[in-house]
A = this chain, B = another copy of it.
Amino acid sequence: MKNRRVVLAAHVTGLPKESDFAIDTVDQPPPSEGEVLVRNHFVSVDPGMRGRLSGETSYAPPVPLGGVVGSATVGRVIASRNAAFAEGDWVAGAFGWQELGLTNGRGIRQIPEGPIPPSAQIGVLGIPGLTAYFGLLDIGRPQPGETVLVSTAAGAVGSATGQIAKIKGARAVGIAGGPAKCRWLTDELGFDAAIDRLAEPDIAAAVARECPNGVDVFFDNVGNSLVDPIMPLMRLHGRIVVSGQTADYNLGANERVGLKNTRAFITHRLKMQGLVVFDYVADFPTAWAELTGWIVDGRLRYREDVVEGLEALPAAFVGLFWGENFGRKLARLTH
C-alpha cells in the first residue's frame, strides 16, 4: 500500500512559499499487532503550524526537512489489530498532511455518533474551537455586558470566540478582512459589530468607534502589530488573550513590531496571557460536551473552507498569511 504525503522541502523563512513543500509517496506497511491504520478524510491547515516549519524551537518540536507537515486529521479506520478500534470507525487524530496514518492507538480518539459531521471534530470541536473555549473562558473571562474584541474573527478560532462571548452575555466585536466576512459575522453569527480592517486606515480609531466603552477582553490571533494600537483602548482590568500571532510567525525578532503602549499594563491594570490549548487536555471532554450542545442548539455556528486533495495544501497554507481563509481551512483527501 502506498501513502502520499506533503513534506517540508525547505525551512520556511519569512512568508511561506509553495516551494517550501513537496509531495512524496512512501510504502505503507500493514498494521502490526496492536496497531491501527487510518485513512485521513480531512486534514487541517493551521497558521500555528508556521512556528514549527522554520527549524527553530517553538512550543512544539520543529518539523525536520523531509518530515510530514503536522495537522489535525479526521478519518476512518481501514485496518485494525487493536481491540479498541474497528474497521470503519471514525477517528480524529494528528497524522498531518498525508493520506494514511498508523498508530498503536495513541493520539486518536473515536468520534461519537451524532448529528455533527466528522470534519467538525478538527474545527469547531477541534483545536480551534477548544482554543476559543479555553482562551476566552479561562483567560478572558468575559462578564455579562462586557465588550469582547476578536481579531481574525472570520477564522475558525475567532468566529467561535465571538459566539461564545455572546453566549456568555458579552458584546462581541470582530475584526476581519473584507465586507463578506464582516457581513457573515454580524448577520449570520450575531456579532454586535464587525470592523473591516481592509477598509479602515486607522484600526485603533475604528475599534474606538465600535467599542465606545473600551475593550474588556481582546482575543488576538494577529500579534504585536495589532495588540499595540489596541492596548490604550483596553478598559481598566482588561484582559488580552494571546491566542495566536499569525503576523509575527513570519518575522524575525528584529523585524517584529514591538509593544510600546505597555504603560497601560499599570494605568489600565492589564493582564496579557498566552495559551496553548493542550494544557487543558484534561478538560477537553467538558468543553466538547458544552460546545456540542451549543452547536445542536444553533447558538454556535461554523464555516468550513475546504480545498480538494493533498496537492492543494501548500497553496492553502500560504494563503492563510494573506487573509484568504474564511472559516476553518481544511483539505478533503477522499470522499
Name A's B-contacting residues (CB within 8 A). Answer: 51, 58-59, 223-224, 227-228, 242, 244-245, 248, 253-254, 256-276, 279
Contact = CB atoms under 8 A, between A and B. Distances in A.
Given A224-B258, A269-B274, A269-B279, 9 more contacts: A59-B268, A242-B262, A245-B262, A245-B266, A248-B262, A257-B258, A267-B274, A267-B276, A270-B274
A134 B264 CA distance: 19
Nearest to A224: B262
Contact of A242 (B224, B253, B266, B276): B266
**Listed residue (A254, A266, A268) with the most chain B CB atoms within 10 angstroms of its CB:** A266
Contact of A273 (B228, B256, B263, B272): B272
A260 B254 contact: yes
Contacts of A228: 258
Contacts of A270: 273-274
Q: Give 7 closest A-B pairs by Cβ, nearest first.
A: A258-B258, A265-B274, A266-B274, A259-B259, A242-B265, A271-B273, A59-B267
B257 A59 contact: no
A253 B248 contact: no
Contacts of A279: 269
Contacts of A248: 262-263
Contacts of A276: 266-267, 269
Contacts of A227: 262
Contacts of A258: 224, 228, 257-260
Contacts of A242: 262, 265-266
Nearest to A256: B260
**Listed residue (A51, A59, A272) with the most chain B CB atoms within 10 angstroms of its CB:** A272
Given A267-B58, A269-B279, A223 B274 contact: no
